[in-house]
Structure 1
């Protein structure tokens, strides 16, 4: 019989950043759906902002959140496509200590079931920086629902087995051995 106990749910402090040149808090449905999903899951909204799709403004805001020990995760929505103003991946990827290759791969695989081959135009990425997990999602509300509901929610839940990101984040308890 195993002596391991189930890990309890650990509420995280999560920041949400919408990348858009046109949205504001009233019209930001994608950011709002992420806020609703994370709070319904029992997490805390640590910060929320909208940033123009500018490489240096994006890096500045995300860098501030990465440096904040009270923020465990950052969710970005928008700027992951192929238009001239879609700069999220090239802005955020240089900040990663480690890329989470599987996030973009899995997101596109799941999205294929929903939107077919159009998913090849998604440059969704994820990574770790200073013990903060970062997920960059497309700007559509449905993409945010898919990303949260089918990937991110479980990976930010200490009770999800066999593994999740909780033990890699700031100010969380150490992981028990995974023997």
Structure 2
């Protein structure tokens, strides 16, 4: 279904996996061909957007590292999808790193994500801080690190991405 304000926009996608444990195991990784086998969530995003993926980053749970990767990614991509670091653990810093940078937060994304999560996992869905926002006319999605959560998030993203981009770029 094409929405009234949706345009056929061209876009590239950057994937950022936020995981201190994976970072300790593999070190810093950059490039879509470098997604580790054990990064199931990153691989799901790659599978969903295949030819649209322009870059991949593996970073630790660090506000500075997350922000640096996002700023670098947004130089090449119109869409940045982060996975990991969105939980309630004190070490989970993805939301803290990015929320203040959002020019506009897309609250509906997190609301729909939690609603759909509730259907699958019940009240544990309240633990999710999944969110999205606009930075410099580009869209940033923050998803939990689990493969199942990423698959759910991708379903929502794929259904609404062109519409969101049309608005973010002032085309709608």
Whether TM-score is above 0.5 comes out as yes
**TM-score bracket for the superposition, by shorter chain length:** 0.7 to 0.9
TM-score by length of 2: 0.84
Max radius of gyration: which structure?
1
**Structure 1 residue corresponding to 2:37, chosen from 23, 26, 33:** 26
C-alpha spacing 1:117/1:9, structure 2 compared with 1 (3 Å): same
8 Å Cα contact 1:79/1:139 also seen in 2: yes
Paired position in structure 2 for 1:13: 12
Deviations 1:62-116 (A, max 9, x none): 12223x1x41100000001111211111011111111011111110000000010
Bigger share in helix: 2
Structure 2 residue runs of 5 or longer lacking an equivalent are 27-35
Paired position in structure 2 for 1:38: 49
Structure 1 residue runs of 5 or longer lacking an equivalent are 158-163
User: 3-state DSSP class of the match of 1:134?
Assistant: strand
**Structure 2 residue corresponding to 1:81, chosen from 80, 87, 93:** 87
* Segments of 4+ moved more than 6 angstroms: 5-8
Paired position in structure 2 for 1:153: 158
- The alignment of Structure 1 onto Structure 2 pairs a total of residues equal to 157
Q: Structure 2 CA distance, aligned partners of 1:84 and 1:50?
A: 20
Shift, 1:12, TM fit: 1.8
